Every structure is written in structure tokens, then in C-alpha cells.
Amino acid sequence: MTPQRKEILQIFVDSEDGSHLSAEEVYELLRQKDFDFGLATVYRNLELLNELGILNKVDFGDGRTRYELSAANPQLHQHHHLICLNCKKIFEFEDDLLDNLENLISKKSDFEIVNHEVKFFGYCSDCRKRRHNEN
Amino acid sequence: MTPQRKEILQIFVDSEDGSHLSAEEVYELLRQKDFDFGLATVYRNLELLNELGILNKVDFGDGRTRYELSAANPQLHQHHHLICLNCKKIFEFEDDLLDNLENLISKKSDFEIVNHEVKFFGYCSDCRKRRHNEN
DNA sequence: GTTGATGCAAAACTTTTGCAACACG
DNA sequence: CGTGTTGCAAAAGTTTTGCATCAAC
């Protein structure tokens, strides 16, 4: 655990729940705290923390890889991402209904599942209201 | 419908079911058929076909955006992707169990869902056998 | 003619890599 | 010392953009 590693992880701990930060964003947040690490170091350590299972890689199709703190016990804190197609905000949905689906897939496809990533695209409550008011 | 657009779409129609092609791959397949379109044209038209709902954008985290033919009726042909962490092969799993989950999310989160993307990471049958034999 | 699509090259962005310098046991 | 990490700059890879040209109606 180098100081760099420690501070990169601290960025995630300090960020609000459900933050999905890209390397560049972590780098910027570090600079705001006067930690002037190299960008390459940030990239290398995000990847490392991901391999250690401390961070989760997520991808919202905006051209950059993002990371989030992974729950200590994944079984207890499964969550899916709801992505608003209008305002691009990301919402979280806690759920463990996917267990059934995982079991079904394992049996039917003979595929051993160790992780999953689920994204729902649509329109959030605010954007729907706004659109309704505009009409 | 320009000739370029037509031939790009044809690439997907001719490709085997469940192909997930990147812009570069489409470009290469076109060249093999002696269609020498510009790479930028391929990019522009893949994006266009995606907006028209003819292609679906998918992302397997390999650093490039991929596209697949979207089913005419998405309700009839929902499928999820199983990604083998060892051999990186992509398998498809047909399923409509997610309807339940979508309904639940809509109610609980007040979020209108129009599309979803589900990826399961794990180990395919072949890789599990191979690993077993090696031990 | 006007509008939109193409092709090419350049530019923009994200991510990776090579390598010398550094830190730590 | 030796191993592993960092920082910097350069390189690599994907995607976007500007612009002149082309095609179609």
C-alpha cells in the first residue's frame, strides 16, 4: 500500500455513495486535494484495485472506463444501474432477484457465473415530469 | 439509403447470428468484399443505424464499441450476453425473465425502462473442462 | 442548385507502455 | 542490492471532426 494507492482509494471512500469515477476524474479530485500524482499511476492503481476486488469496473458507454467501490459482500449489496437517456444521470437499484436468473443460466447453458453487470436505459421521474409539463 | 449504408447493414445480415462487430471489423469485412468505404463513413453509419433502432450498441469492455442486429420485436428476442473470463468468447442466452424485474423497478423507482443490457461474467463449459483436465 | 453523404487527413481523447529515477526492506 | 512503484513523455488505439468533393433529387 503506497501513499498513492491509499489516497486513490480514499477518493472513493469520501465520494458519495454510488459514485462512478473515471481515471481522469480521480486524477482531478486528487489534484484538488493537492496530491499531484501522475495520471499513469492513477490508471495503474485503479486497475490494480479492481483486480483486488476492491473496486468494480463499470462502463456506461460514455467512452471512458469508470470504477465504483465494490460492496464487501456482493451477495448482500447487488445493485443495478438505471441510466436516464435524457439527463444521463445514473440511479441505483438494489435487488437480488437475479439469483434465479443466474441459476437458470448456469443450468441451461452450462456456464459458471461469477459476476454480472446490468443496465436499464429509460427515463427518470424528473425527466418524464418535465417532458409532460412542456407538452 | 446510400450504397454504403446498404452494404454496412448487409455485413450484419450476412454475419452469423449473434455477431458483435466493431467499426474496424465492419470496415475490414467490407474491404474483403471489395467495398472500399472510408472508415469515418462506417463509424457515422453504425451510429445512424443504431439511432434508427436497426442496430444495437453493445460494449464488452474491450475498448471498442460493438454493434449487433437488433431483433425486429425486442419482446420476442430478448437475450443476455455470457462472457467467458478465460477465452473471452461471448455466448447468448435467450430469456424474458427480466420483464418481472423491469416491472418491479418501474414501480419502486418510478423509472420508465425502454431498454436494458445484461452481461454475465464467468467460465464457459469448455474452459471449465480444460481447467479440470489440467489439474 | 440545394441538401445531405462521403472520403481523407488531421485532431481529439482515453489508455498503455518504456524507461529512468526513486523508495523500501 | 533487488523488487516493485512512480512520473514523465511518447506511443497506441479508437472515435470524431473539418472540409472539399460527390451524388441525388
The single-letter code of the amino acid at A100 is N
Residue labelled with grid coordinates 480521480:
A26
Q: Do A111 and B91 touch (CB under 8 A)?
A: yes
- What average pLDDT does the segment A74-84 reach? 79
Q: Which residues contact B29 (CB under 8 A, 6 or more apart)?
A: B11, B15, B21
B123–A contact, CB cutoff 8 A: yes
pLDDT band at A74 (very low <50, low <70, confident <90, very high): low
In the numeric block, which cell numbers belong to residue A23?
A: 481515471
Which residue of A lies nearest to B108 if distances are taken between CA atoms? A93
> For A61, left (φ over 0), alpha (ψ -120 to 50), or beta?
left
- Residue A85 is predicted with a pLDDT of 87
End-to-end CA gap in chain B: 56
Strand ranges, E, within chain A: 21-22, 55-58, 66-69, 79-84, 90-94, 112-123
In the numeric block, which cell numbers belong to residue B119?
A: 452481461
* A121 beta partners: A83, B115
Nearest CA among A118, A68, A57, A60 for reference residue A85: A60
- What average pLDDT does the segment A85-93 reach? 90
Percent of chain B with pLDDT over 70: 95
Pick from A75-79, A129-133, B35-39, B57-61 the range whose average pLDDT is largest. Answer: B35-39
Say how many residues make up chain A.
Answer: 135
Contacts of A104 in chain B (CB under 8 A): 95, 97
Residue labelled with grid coordinates 467467458:
B84
pLDDT band at B88 (very low <50, low <70, confident <90, very high): confident
End-to-end CA gap in chain A: 56
- What average pLDDT does the segment B94-118 reach? 90
